[in-house]
Structure 1
Amino acid sequence: MKHLISCALLAFSHAALAEDSTVFYLRAQTESLETASNRANHGFGMGELRWQTDLLRGVVTARHDTRDGDVLRVNELSLERPLAGGFATAGKKVMSWDVGYAFRPLDVVQQEDRRALNPVTLEGVPMLAWEAFDESRAVTIVWTNPGHGKREQPKGDGALAVRLYRQQGSTDQYAVLRVSARNGVEGGVSFSHVASDALEWHGSVLLQQRHDEWIVSRTAPPRWQRVDGGGKALAGLTWTTESKFSVLGEAWVDRTAARGRQRNVLLRASQTEGDLEVAADVLWQPGQGAYRGSRVASVGTTWKASPWLLSASLRHFSGAASHVARNVAVATLQYAF
């Protein structure tokens, strides 16, 4: 149940301040991209080190890429200490928010791509943060990219964000407020309600004083364009059987996306048998007028038997989305030490 998971995560965050751990991953991944004119293959090998002490947590990745060469990246490095009844964080950290699976309107800090095929390790955001919680409530205050104003990408902007969490019975409730030079004031709420052992539904809405919309034109390069007002909204549900067959349905609107990609409907089904999971989903993006819609279909399987992980996925694009890609295939092999 999502509200039990949320409480467990809060408890884990507190315990992590005193528990030492170190893990190292080796990962190999290959990707094949087919467009209307050609096919390109791309692969990389990566080592990832994660550690947690009572003072410091970090994630460092070293990557050899057939396309981009060698890359050494500090994905996370943060100092965490108890402070004023909660705990403070200073440094670079991944901080994902909200309740959605494919899209998260209230994810105003991390702003990650939730639909990536077999995504690589996330890169955190520089921040100063303070969090406090008890069994049913939590508050998080975050100053991201201190000293920065508006940068090239929204994730790099300097901003102040606050999130409130409350568990009330079988419902998790969230409220978020963010202030930045790019979007002005943004505020929103979300919830996740467990109706039964099998059924859960959730929703989010974010309202913005202004936003940058991604404009794609046939006569000019893609660009961001400032627009007054705006927002994002999501509604969804999950249904899971005792045999571990699960169905997810979500619909959302994102006014910051390019025209033709602002309205989305996703249907996903998955089956888990022991260490093996097989999943398939379809994303519809109904367009309007000159902005023709798209369909994106994906199928994938993951086998996870510690310390091994093996996954393979295939994604097919049709409609307007096929102008960028037709098919993408990704395979990943990972071993944990």
Structure 2
Amino acid sequence: MTRTPSAAPPPALPPSSWILSESYAGLMAQARGLAEAASLAPESRILTPRAPWRFVTARLWPAPLAAIGDALAGPLPEIVIGCGGAGAVIGAALRRRYGLRAVQIQHPRMDLRRFDVILAAIHDDLTGPNVIVTRTALHGVTPARLAEAAAIWRPRLAHLPRPLVAVLVGGSNGRFRLGALEAEALGIRLAALAADGAGLAVTPSRRTSSAAQRALALALAGPRDAGTAYLWDGSGENPYFGLLALADVIIATEDSVSMMSEAAATAAPLLVARLPGHSRRIRDFSATLIASGRAREFTGRLEVWPTIPINDTEAAADELRRRLGY
């Protein structure tokens, strides 16, 4: 008797999942980067607490799920991925009440046993049986994404001189200050690089204040008029990944671990632009990058040296899948 080969079983669908985070670009980028690398396709649930809880730190909410309300409507997923303080509180509450598997990105600032898996960068100083430690923040910078962005942005930035310096500008965040005066000072140093023959491609972030953007634009007026500098004005397509992909050197302001981590995932040398203020965690992170040779402090001079990309997101996602068993 001839046996008919049985059809191969259909591939298993990934577990259903949510991202739980407040509406901060850096937090969302970390969660989406992890989810993508872990073959998840989560819904994003933006956590916007009701009054009066929006004025109280999330760890003090007496009834966290009631404090959020409509953001959690609909059928519950199998996995929740929290990022930041509010994400941690809501993820732990969902796990406790409904038995969902809870993944947390960044230090949760609460009992680690309330989560199935925690992913923390080395500067979080966090260890434990359910903790995965990475050298940088998680993100969505991959070789494929960089190649795609390079193809789009190469002709648009082809007029700029080489070496091309990509500048990632953050903003004030309660720990560091980047106002008009700081933006002007940074712009003056950048204009000096252009005067020495470098091309500049500068992108502000959502946190860059309008005053800082105006000061930066004024300081770069000369190079822009000469065609040696490009400054994104916030309209049209965001050039961020294109700048990462095409840069010969990247300068990132030190207020953002996410920006420094994404820059470190490329092959370009990273220069860290210091700002007034202080954060032990962020300073420890940038100091580790500098001590490893992956970054240097930006002193106003253009420096180029051989570098190796640092990107732990894929390895962390593989370990996450192993621990969650899918």
TM-score (norm 2): 0.23
Larger helix fraction of residues: 2
Higher relative contact order (CA 8 A, sep 6+): 2
TM-score (norm 1): 0.22
Larger strand fraction of residues: 1
